[in-house]
Every structure is written in C-alpha cells, then in structure tokens.
Amino acid sequence: MKYFVFGALVIVGIGIWWLNAAGQFSFRDSHNDEMEFIDDADTTRSVITEPTDYPEASTSVTYLPPIPEPTNPDGRTRWAAYWEPMNAEEYAVYGPTTRPAGPPRVGIQAGHWQRENLPNELSGLTGSSGATAGGYTETEVNLAVAEEVVKLLTNAGIEVTLLPVTVPIDYLADAFISIHADGNTDTSISGFKIAPPRTDYSGKAQRLVDAMYPTYEQATGLKRDEAFTRRMSGYYAFNWRRYDHAVHPQTPSAIVEMGFLTNASDRTLMTTQPALIAEGIANGIINYLTAEGLLTTE
C-alpha cells in the first residue's frame, strides 16, 4: 500500500513539474479575474441624481436598496436581475443623454493595472493579477498595448483616457474598451475574442464589437475564439447596477481578449509587437466612431 501511495505522489509531482516547465503559467479559467461575479453581501448601489455629461465622479447620490433575491418560480438568479431592462426610475437617470459638442471621447482600460488602488466595493479584485506565462504578467502586456492604442487614437483626433482597474464613477464616453489577455491550461488554445456587455443599454455596443473584429483579425492574423461565457459579457465594469465604479449604461462598451498568454505563438505576438496589436484595436474604434458620425477622417 505504501508503495502505491508513494507512486501516486510521484505522478502528481511530475504532473505539476510538467505544467510549470512546459508553459510556466498560472490560470484560473479562460474568463477569469475581474470578469468574475463578485458575490459579496453588499449589493447597495448609488445612483447619480443629477446626471451630467461625461461625469468623472458623483457628488450628489441617493442609495437604492439592495436588489432582492428573486422569489419568482422560474429559477431566475440574482445575477440575472443585474441585466434586466431599466425600470422607470432608472431610466430617468440612466436613459439616453445628450452628447456634448467636441471630439469623440474614448476610455481605454488596461486590465488589472493599478489593482492595488481599488475602492472597497471592488476589494474582491485585489488578488486578481491575471494570467502569467513565459515570464510575462497579463498586467504588463495589457498596459503596453493600451498605451499604444492611446497614442494611435490621440493622433486620430480622439480624446482618450487611459483607465486602470478602477473605472471613474458612471464613466460616460463615446466608447469604452477593456484590454485583456486570456489563459488556459491547454497551451494549444489560441485566438482572440471581443464581447459587448450582456445587456447593451446603449444600443451601440454590438456595432463597436463588429467594427473591431475585422480590423483586429487583419492586423494580427489571429483566429476568432468563440468560447464566451457570462463572465466576459458580465465584466464587472459593465455592471452599473452593482458598482459605483462602472461605465455608464449609455456608454458603448466592449472587452477584448487579445490572445492567449499561455499559448507560445499568441504570447510572442502580444509581447513583441504591442504596436501591431494596438493597431488592430485602434482601427476598429476609429471605424466605429466614423460610422457613427463622431469622427471625420479627412
């Protein structure tokens, strides 16, 4: 018996060594970290009572009661309640806004960046460092690409803000894009994906996604990965009902998984050619803003 136990331990040890030696990566699942639904007890959510154009913060708030656990017999979960249509009270505050004059405004978020400065409501993300592989962290890869995207958009006449993990309260802009890299225990898995919020209250997010797919595919040569889960479309920054630090529901938003950091080929592309990756993202955003009549390419 003792020889059997010893043999099993050896096999487990070899397996762990192989995973670290082969890819030197860590992962949670292919839709992880900040995309996870943080299920803490406090569901109280503040609402701006005097909405302004593009508010960076709110100084006048009222607090709505927590979203109750469902009692209806159809088995709906509390998660589903976050993505239901707006009620009349919410619509009065978060309904369509009048866009101010001026150049288009875009927020580019570098996933995981500055997670050490999270507010209390997002404290559950403190330990979410993202994928690591081949000596690279997702944070540094995301930030390098995000900075290049900011440069390209700025050169195109767009007002751009580089955003960390903590999104300004009810962030309102012409577009919001969160940049991430994926991970998986299967190092052969490759590809990119782009997703809008689970519920698109702006009515424009899918057009933003559709504009980005072909430009990213053309720039990088990567194939599309269709493996989506609710954790991606339910990214925390999209959840304006649950969190103060989230994008305004009228902001067209998307989350980009640039490729798999755990795949050697994807990783090489992301770490050695961040400007190329950024071109694929930026060109899609520019095409979207142009199609919406918010940017001229003359």
> Whole-angstrom Cα distance, residue 90 to residue 218?
40
pLDDT digits (tens, 9 = 90+) for 164-209: 999 999 999 999 999 999 999 999 999 999 999 999 999 999 999 9
The verdict on residue 116 lying in a domain is: yes
Q: Give the chain's domain count.
A: 1
The verdict on residue 1 lying in a domain is: no
pLDDT digits (tens, 9 = 90+) for 223-241: 999 888 778 899 999 999 9
The verdict on residue 89 lying in a domain is: no
The verdict on residue 75 lying in a domain is: no
Residue 163 pairs with which residues in a beta bridge?
109
> Whole-angstrom Cα distance, residue 170 to residue 54?
8
CATH number at residue 266: 3.40.630.40
CA atoms within 13 A on the CB side of 36: 19
At residue 149's C-alpha, the angle toward residues 27 and 111, to 5°, is 25
| Domain with 151 in it | 103-291
> What pLDDT shows up at residue 161?
97
b/e code 194-211 from CB counts within 10 Å (16+ = b): bbbbbbbbbebbebbbbb
% of the chain with per-residue pLDDT over 70: 72
The verdict on residue 285 lying in a domain is: yes
Please check whether residue 167 is in contact with residue 253, taking contact to mean a CB–CB distance below 8 angstroms.
no
**What does 274-287 look like in DSSP terms, one character per residue?**
HHHHHHHHHHHHHH
Q: What is the mean pLDDT of the chain?
A: 79
The verdict on residue 261 lying in a domain is: yes
The verdict on residue 146 lying in a domain is: yes
The verdict on residue 2 lying in a domain is: no
Please check whether residue 110 is in contact with residue 11, taking contact to mean a CB–CB distance below 8 angstroms.
no
Q: Which helix (H) or strand (E) holds 149?
A: helix 138-155
Please check whether residue 46 is in contact with residue 61, taking contact to mean a CB–CB distance below 8 angstroms.
yes
